[in-house]
Amino acid sequence: MDRASQIVKSFPQSRAGGNPPDPHDEDSRGTAMKPDLSKVLSRGLGSRPHAVAQLRKFSSRMLEPGVHARFYRARKMFILTVVSSAIGLGNLWRFPYVAYENGGGAFLIPYLLALFTVGIPLLILETGVGYKTRSGPPLAFKRLLGRGYSVIGWAAVLVAFLIVTYYSVIVAWSFDYLGFSFSLAWGSDPSAFFYDDFLQLSDGFFSISGLNLMVLAGAILAWIWIYLSIFKGVRSVEKMVWVTVVVPWLLIIIFVLRGITLPGAMDGLAYYLTPNFSALLDPGVWIAAYGQVFYSMSIGMAIIIAYSRFLGEKSDVVKNAVFIAIADCFTSIFAGIAVFSTLGYLAFTHGVSVTEVVRGGIELAFVTYPAVISALPVLPQLFGVLFFAMLITLGVGSAFSLVQAVSASLTDYVRAERWVLTGAICIAAFAVSLIYMTDAGILWLDIIDHYVNNFLILLVGFAEAAVIGYVYGAPKLREFVNRFSDWKVGRWWDVCIWVVIPLFLGLALIINVIDGIADPYGDYPLAANLLGWAEVVVLPLVAVVLAFVYRNHEGVDVDEQASE
């Protein structure tokens, strides 16, 4: 077996799974300050001159041409932007593989359960937090709970930043591969091409001898696209999400149609969808389902809180969450049909069993799929271009959401033009990502990603649910959310926040820590895994430092930001 498989095999399934409260309560600071009409109205205006002033200001703005549209568009935009961040490479290369490994069609049972007990509830929680406080995560947690709690928000922001540093590099590879598609440059051995010719993979984690200029060029394209998507804040995102949601959907449909009409497709689909109900007795399958939902919906990160601060008056938090979850879930299932039907075809053309060609993660996209493309009977180049265009649009949508989350959080703290701030964040992230563009880059990417997914995101999600559930009070947030929703959530939501989420995330964390110590990840030198652990420890510490440095910061005027 080549180095290839050892390295990235684990990539797709790499996730199994204070201070005293602020003396100013959040109601007077978090919401009434904001142009939140119904909230202001419901509290009796007479005794609140400040609220009256706000209401006037808000009402008059509502009457301005274009402003009303901003609020209307904002809701649709919210759904699309969150969908854009949720649908990503994970839907294409992670879900189908995880489902295949964990009971095939039967995996849908734990998956849907996880969707309704973790995915949707956390989505509602994060939307509620962002909507109520109209702040990015650090300030949001401070406003809701007191200044010490901004640590959770800072951790989320740092995790988002860290992820985009390597996620963008995968987009960079996809740009390069889009170019390679024109000549089917990977030839007859896509694996050797990917690792040796393209990445020029070095001998080990610490043997780094230089930058890969091809990857660098791809990364520059990726970052230009990311920057253009967000440099005007929500205004530009609003336009770009049409591209990063609708284009991949159309392309997935094309690949489904192409896939199922190929010989061998049904065999492939049988591997993907045949239910193996006995798998449901394996607790690992359940952890995998919860892990996948968590990863796929991009929760436990700054993204959703940061986006929901821009929600308009008619936000309908619950319906949004359900819609987003369903859209993401369907994208995954459908992408799986595209992937497995073509894997069936690949097995058919090579005269082997489907199990021998199944891969997930980076290998699926950059080794297996190129082989599929070369084997296509008509217009392989065109399908190559379309496939990598699909990866790029899926990847960019998630990548710019991550940067947008960081930038929408920092605007609370830094008084700078949005385009300058966003540019600075992009440049900083680009600089960090240079490490993944070296000849050992994929190894670094694999390690950093493994520790982010197995520990950091779970930690943030756990902390979010625990503090909102127990310190702030789940029922209190639920009541708030229900006031702005046609569909109301019941007490089951409290139970999810109090019990189900902390239980599953806590369990997954404990299992991952034990596993990680007993059996260090991959075939890496000890120092590489120590680096991973250092990441898990240092990032929260940096969050603590940031929370301390900004402990007295009250946030830049929100109205000013909303009217960008």
Sites of contact with ligand PHE (CB under 6 A): 85-86, 88-91, 163, 295-296, 298, 301, 398, 402
Select 311 or 402, whichever has its Cβ closest to ligand PHE. 402
DSSP SS3 for 87? coil
d(CA 344, CA 328): 24
d(CA 82, CA 308): 9
Select 139 or 452, whichever has its Cβ closest to ligand PHE. 452
Asked if residue 199 lies in contact with residue 212, where contact means CB atoms within 8 angstroms, the answer is: yes
Beta bridge partners of 9: none
Phi, then psi, of 313 in degrees rounded to 5? -60, -50
Query: Measured from the CB of residue 167, what is the shortest distance to ligand PHE in angstroms?
Result: 6
Q: Token match 């497995």: residue?
A: 340
Select 84 or 485, whichever has its Cβ closest to ligand PHE. 84
Query: Measured from the CB of residue 402, what is the shortest distance to ligand PHE in angstroms?
Result: 5
Select 246 or 517, whichever has its Cβ closest to ligand PHE. 246
Select 85 or 422, whichever has its Cβ closest to ligand PHE. 85
What tokens were used for 420?
């300058």
Query: Measured from the CB of residue 298, what is the shortest distance to ligand PHE in angstroms?
Result: 4
Query: Measured from the CB of residue 299, what is the shortest distance to ligand PHE in angstroms?
Result: 8
Closest by alpha carbon to 166, among 528, 486, 521, 442?
A: 442
In residues, how long is the chain? 564
HSE-CB for 286 with a 13 A CA cutoff = 16
Select 85 or 485, whichever has its Cβ closest to ligand PHE. 85
Query: Measured from the CB of residue 352, what is the shortest distance to ligand PHE in angstroms?
Result: 29
DSSP SS3 for 299? coil
Asked if residue 249 lies in contact with residue 335, where contact means CB atoms within 8 angstroms, the answer is: no
Query: Measured from the CB of residue 143, what is the shortest distance to ligand PHE in angstroms?
Result: 24
What tokens were used for 451?
């520790």
Select 12 or 121, whichever has its Cβ closest to ligand PHE. 12
d(CA 33, CA 445): 43
User: What is the maximal distance between C-alpha atoms in the chain?
Assistant: 79
Query: Measured from the CB of residue 395, what is the shortest distance to ligand PHE in angstroms?
Result: 8
Select 26 or 363, whichever has its Cβ closest to ligand PHE. 363
Q: Which residues contact 177 (CB under 8 A, 6 or more apart)?
A: 366, 370, 384, 388, 391
Query: Measured from the CB of residue 48, what is the shortest distance to ligand PHE in angstroms?
Result: 40
Select 55 or 87, whichever has its Cβ closest to ligand PHE. 87
Give the rounded distance of the alpha carbon of 82 from its chain centre: 9
Asked if residue 190 lies in contact with residue 389, where contact means CB atoms within 8 angstroms, the answer is: no
Query: Measured from the CB of residue 91, what is the shortest distance to ligand PHE in angstroms?
Result: 5
User: Which segments of 16-149 are extended strands (E)?
Assistant: none
Select 296 or 341, whichever has its Cβ closest to ligand PHE. 296
CA angle centred on 130, ends 125 and 136, rounded to 5°: 130
Count the neighbouring beta carbons within 10 Å of the beta carbon of residue 63. 9
Query: Measured from the CB of residue 345, what is the shortest distance to ligand PHE in angstroms?
Result: 24
